[in-house]
Amino acid sequence: MSKKDVSDYIKEFIDRAKELEGCSEFFNEYGSDFWSFKKLIFLAHYIRPFLDISIKNNYQPIYIDACAGCGINSIKKENVAVKFIGSPLISIIYGIHHIKKRNENNKFLKWFFVEKEDYYIELEKRIDALSKNIEMENNIKIENGKDVEILHGNFNDKIDEIINYINDNYKNKISVLVFVDPYSFSEIDWNTIEKLYDKLKAVDLIYCFSSGTLKRALDSCSDEKLKKVLPPSLKDKSRGELSLMPEEAFEEAFAEDIVNAARRSITYFGKGITTRNRVNTELYRIMFFTHLKQIAVKNITERICDDLNPLTAKELETITECVIGKAKNLKQFI
């Protein structure tokens, strides 16, 4: 993936947000920065092979977003202010792949979006507006309450409802892509992750682990909450031992326990994708786990990890400035 490819994704995210400007005046600003584009590009880039391979192997693909937000993010810096679509809208736009040869669409059978804050209402408005654009582009109708389910509440509290709905309504093989992007690792109970793998079987998981909030989360959690969020291999460690663990060691233990929770063969891309601030402190590690065995999945994932990992927040900012015309053109930057 070249910087031009990255630029094209960012432009698409920004342009799509502009199309939905009249829907709502509320935008997510907390936790958004230029490095956010890494996880969103990874998601957008992976959806198509996930859909194509799942459907080719007679799986019905479903998408779950654990922390959906309001649908549009906002970054305001000294030199640039920009709005761009977030994971739920990306999953809809890229989750409908038109196959020209067959004149049909590979798409998610169902989308589930979970948001605990009241601005889930803003997401609902934006999906209604986006569905009209999708219908014009792909001649396919996406409806809230039918194709899309928006659940207001905590993902830990809603996971049983989602799983029961899937298992009750879809009897064929199901392939589920789950995107988990919490502000803090303490937002997602370990039992919730276990339920995904225990009751849904074929799950691909993109987990954005908040390295930057790890120490603060460990300090602020009550003893009861800490027991709920820690993976099995870390539950017996004292707070003192946990606080002294290097973040990378914590993340690796966390990831290994996810692999064990699956109780079947899944592939974990250990390198993942990291996002760092201007002083090179790790903020997020994008972990990826897949049940798909095709070599194409391995190649696509390794390639995008290799291409996105080196990009700094400053480079992503410069690319964004090029996209919106605030800086020299991209050819000069490359």
Per-residue pLDDT tens digits for 73-113: 999 887 788 999 999 999 999 999 877 777 778 899 999 99
146: confidence class by pLDDT, cuts 50, 70, 90:
very high
Cβ neighbours of residue 163 under 8 Å, at least 6 residues apart?
Answer: 195, 196, 199, 200
Measured CA to CA in angstroms, residue 62 lies from 55, 95, 107, 164, 278 at distances of 11, 10, 9, 14, 37
Bigger pLDDT: 315 vs 139: 315
Cβ neighbours of residue 146 under 8 Å, at least 6 residues apart?
Answer: none
pLDDT at residue 316 above 60?
Answer: yes
What 3 state SS string does 119-173 have?
A: CHHHHHHHHHHHHHHHHHHHCCCCCECCCEEEEECCHHHHHHHHHHHHHHHCCCC
213: confidence class by pLDDT, cuts 50, 70, 90:
confident
- The confidence score (pLDDT) of residue 331 equals 61
**Closest of 189, 200, 272, 202 to residue 231, by C-alpha:** 189
162: confidence class by pLDDT, cuts 50, 70, 90:
very high
Share of the chain above pLDDT 70, in %: 96
CB 126 within 8 A of CB 84: no
**Strand bridging mode 148-152 / 110-115:** parallel
171: confidence class by pLDDT, cuts 50, 70, 90:
confident
pLDDT at residue 31 above 70?
Answer: no
- The confidence score (pLDDT) of residue 137 equals 82
CB 206 within 8 A of CB 286: yes
State the Cα–Cα distance between residues 85 and 13, nearest whole angstrom: 5
**Closest of 32, 81, 63 to residue 127, by C-alpha:** 63
- The confidence score (pLDDT) of residue 332 equals 55
2: confidence class by pLDDT, cuts 50, 70, 90:
confident
What 3 state SS string does the chain have?
A: CCHHHHHHHHHHHHHHHHHCCCCCCCCECCCCCCCHHHHHHHHHHHHHHHHHHHHHCCCEEEEEECCCCCCEEEEECCCCEEEEECHHHHHHHCCEEEECCCCEEEECCEEEEEECCCCHHHHHHHHHHHHHHHHHHHCCCCCECCCEEEEECCHHHHHHHHHHHHHHHCCCCEEEEEEECCCCHHHCCHHHHHHHHHHHCCEEEEEEECHHHHHHHHHHCCHHHHHHHCCHHHCCCCHHHHHHCCHHHHHHHHHHHHHHHHCCCCEECCCCEEEECCCCCEEEEEEEEECCCCHHHHHHHHHHHHHHCCCCHHHHHHHHHHHCCCCCCHHHHC
Q: pLDDT tens across 237-274, in order?
A: 988 898 888 888 999 999 999 999 887 777 887 768 88
Q: What is the mean pLDDT of the chain?
A: 88
334: confidence class by pLDDT, cuts 50, 70, 90:
low
- The confidence score (pLDDT) of residue 178 equals 97
333: confidence class by pLDDT, cuts 50, 70, 90:
low
**Closest of 69, 83, 43 to residue 150, by C-alpha:** 69
pLDDT at residue 293 above 90?
Answer: no
State the Cα–Cα distance between residues 124 and 226, nearest whole angstrom: 33
Average pLDDT for residues 103-125, to the nearest whole number? Answer: 91
Phi (first) and psi of residue 284, to 5 degrees: -140, 150
Structure tokens at 46: 């992976």
- The confidence score (pLDDT) of residue 313 equals 85
Q: pLDDT tens across 318-330, in order?
A: 899 999 887 666 6
CB 206 within 8 A of CB 87: no
Domain 3-333: CATH architecture, name and number where available: 3-Layer(aba) Sandwich (3.40)
**Closest of 57, 151, 148, 61 to residue 106, by C-alpha:** 61
